[in-house]
Amino acid sequence: MTKPLREIERWKDPIVAEVRKARERLFAAAGYDLEEFCRRLHESLQHEGPGLTRPLRMGERKTAKGRTKPSTRRAKKARA
């Protein structure tokens, strides 16, 4: 017979615990108000710039302004 989940000690992931702790701090700083939290998040992204980005896809490169565009390396190789 299996034990109920409450009786089994759950495995604790330290990364998940750290993320949850950070989330709690951020929401507490915003007074647990979702609109205030989103306003602060938007403000910090405007101030710090786009920190959350996706990895570059094959054939893409970053421009000086941080935007992505197709790489010309492959096209140059094809011409040569």
Q: What is the pLDDT of residue 61?
A: 72
Cα 17 to Cα 9: distance, rounded to the nearest angstrom: 16
- Tokens read off for 14: 């330290």
pLDDT tens for 28-68 read 999 999 999 999 988 887 777 655 566 777 777 776 666 66
DSSP string, 17-30: HHHHHHHHHHHHHT
How high is the pLDDT of residue 24? 95
